[in-house]
Amino acid sequence: MSTSYKGPIVLIIMDGVGIKEIETGNAVTGAKKPILDNCMKNYPMQKLKAHGTAVGLPSDGDMGNSEVGHNAIGAGQVYSQGAKLVSESLASKSMYQSEVWKSLVADAKKGGTMHFIGLLSDGNVHSHIDHLLAMLDEAKEEGVAKVRIHILLDGRDVGETSALQYVDQLEAKLAELSDDSHDYRIASGGGRMVITMDRYGANWGMVEAGWKTHVLGEGRQFATAKEAIETFRSEIPNVIDQDLPAFVIAENGAPVGTIEDGDSVILFNFRGDRAQELTVAFESGADFDKFDRVRVPSVNYAGMLEYDGDLHIPKKFLVSPPVIRNTLGELLANKGIAQLAISETQKYGHVTYFFNGNRSSKFNEDLEEYIEIPSDIVPFEQRPWMKSAEITDKLVELISENKYPFMRVNFPNGDMVGHTGVFESAVIGVESVDIALKRILPAIDAVGGMAIITADHGNAEEMYELAKDGTPKADKDGRIKAKTSHTLNPVPCIFYDNTENKDKYEVVDSDSYGLANIAATIADLLGVEKPECWEPSMIKLK
């Protein structure tokens, strides 16, 4: 027997809302969320793995993230992801055999400088410091005389004030590599939410600030990165690493590492969403109109991975990304099933590009509608409801029209507000999603549809750094240390179904499910034959 819904199957992704029993610092349990609580209590629910090997990362000690999470949800299977691909390429040294690497080294050895730009941490979400250190070793071994590193400070995927840990590690490596014929130094830096790492065109001003810092060498000057970080911390109360201002390392009043004609530049971030805009700034011609670049050096530029396979951004890259085929979106398009994807700017690319296997274009222009609600350029802790109301307005309208058998929506609040480390704001973020559910679920009921309510990874359920005994850690001034990173916790997967179809299937309990099991489940609910390569469905048809 198959299911047959009068209304849509709606996949609701509560970004960054994980499950954790400990209530201390838990903005999910701390939120007033009667709708979500009712759904968890009265409807079938499974806990899904959303980190580590379940989403293609190297180990189960690796936190999930929105990119790999949406890849897994949309693909229906697990692919080796950025961090694992790069680690494997470095371990085998196959990266260094590529024509791209060889050309970067060759140009740097002609008298230019080899520049590395990227996020300096071991968060393994956008980058890993070990990848940078390995490439520095290889650069010296191959005779590159001058290297400059432009560091983006994390405090988001790692401890909020852990920057000096990574700076010290990098400086030790640079001291080891530098000698009379090798000059390896940090040249510039700044917090990842201040410069360079914007995404989805939400704030090109961040990229402009990064360009001025890394390329032009404009900005406040310091003798060392450590001096810059310590100075900013003393001047800005309670500032965390991701929000530290830009800085330039200088000697005798002159920047030590501007980017010039003939240089080689490597963006060593492997995750694509926050790498594309800087890449476009480097690779675009005179038609670039996002900001005044002042001067555009003629460089040999490469990314760690191909960040957009459809748009071919960047033109050169060091490691080939996974080729993700047979996605849910592709299957439904091939079957003639109309589908909708909607979110605000901050997560729009996740329900489109990442969900579709790193594909920018639609599978079928006539059957797919993508809606982006522009995000506000306001610190998320100051407006934690974000665009949840506007997303819901449009979604409810389209549910009532009932022309899309499959709809997917992402509410970014739990993740984007969770990253701020502000507990009270994260609570409001979660409550805002619950208010959205209060409006969406009756609209689904009214047209005879059902919803799968889930998340792509955890975040808001751990807003404090906790000691082993479960008590919050404190900084030197006695303040609770905020946790701004993702987590290793499972996420909910709720089957909200008030139709007669709920009696036509049963949810099969298992502790082995991950995000990749969602696709086959949706295919079963829609009555579509699924590819054999997919992970199993979570339901059994009666």
Q: Do the beta carbons of residue 398 and residue 439 sit within 8 Å?
A: no
Using CA atoms, how far residue 39 sits from 45, 432, 441, 501, in Å, is 8, 16, 10, 17
- Spot the catalytic one: 4, 66, 80, 343: 66
How far is 514 from 159, CA to CA, in rounded Å? Answer: 26
Cross-strand pairs, 329: none
Q: Could you tell me the two tokens for 246?
A: 């830009």
Q: Where are the alpha helices (DSSP H) in 341-450?
A: 345-349, 388-401, 413-416, 423-446
Distance of CA 190 to the CA centre of its chain: 19
Pick the closest to residue 162 from 479, 472, 465 (CA basis): 465
- Is 66 designated active site? yes
Contact 399, 440 (CB under 8 A): yes
Nearest to 225 by CA among 202, 200, 257: 257
The answer to whether the CB of 202 falls within 8 A of the CB of 346 is: yes
Whole-number Å distance between alpha carbons of 93 and 135: 10
Query: How many helices (H) and strands (E) would you count in the chain?
Result: 15, 18
Whether the CA torsion 260, 262, 267, 272 is positive or negative: it is: positive
DSSP annotation of 351 reads I
Residues 326, 312 contacting (CB under 8 angstroms): no
Q: Which strand (E) or helix (H) includes residue 342? A: strand 339-344
Angstrom distance (rounded) from CA 186 to CA 191: 15
Distance, C-alpha 354 to centroid of its chain = 10
Which residues, in sequence order, are CB contacts of 461 under 8 Å at separation 6+?
17, 18, 19, 20, 26, 27, 28, 29, 487, 489
User: CA–CA separation, 218 vs 195, rounded Å?
Assistant: 13
**Token pair of 171 as six digits:** 């400086």
Q: Identify any residues that bridge with 255 across adjacent strands, giving them in sequence order.
A: 250
- Cα(354)–Cα(73) distance, integer angstroms: 9
Contact 152, 196 (CB under 8 A): yes
Tell whether the torsion through CA atoms of 139, 249, 157 and 321 is positive or negative: negative
* Residue count (the chain): 542
Looking at the annotation, which residues are catalytic? 66
